[in-house]
Structure formats: structure tokens, C-alpha cells
Amino acid sequence: MRKHEMLGPWVRRFLLDHLVGERNLSLNTQLSYRDALAMLLPFVAKQQRKSVDLLEVHDISARMVQAFLLHLEQERKVSLRTRNLRLAAIHSLAYFIAQHSPQHVAWCGAVRNVPFKRHVRALVSYLEKNEIEALLHVPDRSTSGGARNYALLLFLYNTGARASEAVNLRITDLTLTASPRHTASVEFLGKGSKRRRCPLWPKTAETLRALVHNRQPDERVFLNRRGQPMTRFGLHAIIKTCVAAASEKEPSLRSKRVGPHTLRHSTATHLLRAGVDINTIRAWLGHVSLDTTLIYAELDMEAKTRALTKCTPTYLPMPTVAVPEPLMHFLRSL
């Protein structure tokens, strides 16, 4: 068996060299691709009655990929979005192999012809101003945990930070002293290792100063109750607890699934309503594509209503038209 027909070396090169070294994809994307292949390879091995280590490139045929996707939908009960994400990883692997091995071009074309399924994109969920205020009133700021929770919620709403950006934030990334020429700000290392800087409200800067007082610059900003760096799961748990408490005052929160990304959506929507330019919002959130930011323009019903009011035509009264009267015409003609 020729070495370049074996699938294992290609998978290793794809995950270790291509995704990391060549494309510099985010860690979450790398893990998503890894998970897709970790499910695909055992499935194919079982169908081919082979060991995973003995799989060849052509064992992953277009028909096999379709069978795998059907398995995901029917047995693992994944959503169409997840199904398409797994297929995107397979497409990417096939393209990588064909790029480096011309003899696999036809195989690659067949695999990449396996189509994505169209799914209806759910509307982006966001919180209204009164819901944000109710959320910020929940933490008891007289306790260390409550002070941290308040700082965390205020920071997420101020910056629109992703969950990973918030939990990985270090004190040295903060500039909390404002000057006449420079405002308080935070620097993020976002997707694709791209850096961006966001301004901080004076209230946010003041709250963070109290939170990180007398701590080392290389420490994480947000710590759990054991003094360890907060995880994304911990962040979700805090928000879930605060939302449950805030829903007593704002019942509308009970019908919404609120997480870190909901606060990010809220930031974008409220910036848009405040008249901030869409390109500024794109830079604020660290979006690679403007299309991603334009989602918020689509969902903002308040802005659509204002636009509709501005373009509503003025209805003028219909002009009076003389309607011919046949009888009178007849009389006058006599």
C-alpha cells in the first residue's frame, strides 16, 4: 500500500500544520474540525470493517460522507447547523489533500459536491435596555462575588466581548486611567489572533480598577471564588443565575435564552440604535466580515419602524371628479 494513500498522515498534517500554521484559525475552530474528524473516522472504519489507522483516503467516499451526515441527523439528533459545520470540516480536509496530491483531485471534487442543507437562520436574540438594567441590579456589590459579577456583566455589555475574550483577559490588557487625549480602553486578542481596542465607559473603568486593585499585571481579570481563572462554563453559570433573579423584575427575560453572546448582540443592537456607524460596530466587535455585523441591522425592528415612519407618504384627499349624469345630459340635449 502506497504511503500517500493512507489517511492518517493527511489528517495529522491537516490539523497540526494547515489549520494552525498556514491558516491560523482560532482555537475553537481547530477544536470543531478535530471533533468532526474524531466522529467521522470511527464511523468510516466501522463501515469499512477496518482499523482507523488503516483507513485510506478513498475510504471517505462521497457516499460514505452522506451516510455519516445521515447518521448525525437521525441517530445523534444534531441540528442542521451542526451537520453543516461537520461537513465544512470534511470539505476542508478534502481540499487540503487535493492541493498537495493532484491524484486525489477527482476524489476531492466528489466529496466537496456533497451539499450543505439549507436551514432557516434563527433571529438573533438581544436584551432591551430595561432588561440590561435589571440584570445589572442583581449582583450584591457589597460582597466580593457580587462585585465581580457586576464588573463582569458591565464589562460584557460595554465591550461586546466574546466569552473566550472575557475569560482570557489579563490585567495588562486594560488601560483604566483616562487622560484628555486618551480614554480608558481594553485590548482584545480575538479570532484569528487579531487585536482590537475598545473604549470603556468611566463607570466600567472605575469598577474594573476596584476589581484588579493590588493584583499582578499578568493575572486574569475575572477569577472564580477559588481565585483561579474563570472558565467559559463559569461565565455562563453566572449569567444564568443573574438572569433567573432579574426575571422576577423583568418577566420578559423568562422567555429568552441569555448567555454571553446575548449580551454581545445587545451591545451591537444598542450601538446601532444610538446611530453608530456599522463599520465602527464591526471594528468594535472584531467581525472579520461586514456581513456578520449587518445581521444586527436586519433584526433591529425599532430602527425599521423609524425608517418606515420617515418614508410613509402623505395621503392627499382624492380630487373631486365630475361624474357624468346621463339623465341631465339627455334633458339638456332636447
Q: What residues are annotated to the active site? A: 162, 191, 261, 264, 287, 296
Round to whole Å and give the CA distance between 88 and 261.
Answer: 23
Q: How many CB atoms are closer than 10 A to CB 7?
A: 22
Closest alpha carbon to 115 in 90, 96, 87, 95: 87
**How far is residue 261 CA from its own chain's centroid?**
7
Between the alpha carbon of residue 322 and those of residues 36, 53, 319, 325, 328, the distances in Å are 75, 91, 10, 9, 13
How far apart CA 36 and CA 217 sit, in angstroms, is: 38
CA distance linking residue 252 with residue 188, whole number of Å: 32
CB atoms within 10 A of CB 210: 10
Can you tell me the distance from the alpha carbon of 121 to that of 34, in angstroms, rounded to the nearest whole number?
25
CB neighbours of residue 29 within 10 Å: 17
**Is residue 153 a contact partner of residue 141, using CB atoms and an 8 Å limit?**
no
Phi, psi of 191 (to 5 degrees): -60, 145
Long-range contacts of 178-187 (CB under 8 A, 24+ apart): 178/202, 178/205, 186/155, 186/159, 186/161
The three cell numbers of residue 88 are: 465544512
- CA-based radius of gyration for the chain: 28
Sequence-ordered list of residues with C-beta below 8 angstroms from that of 247, at least 6 positions apart, any chain: 253, 254
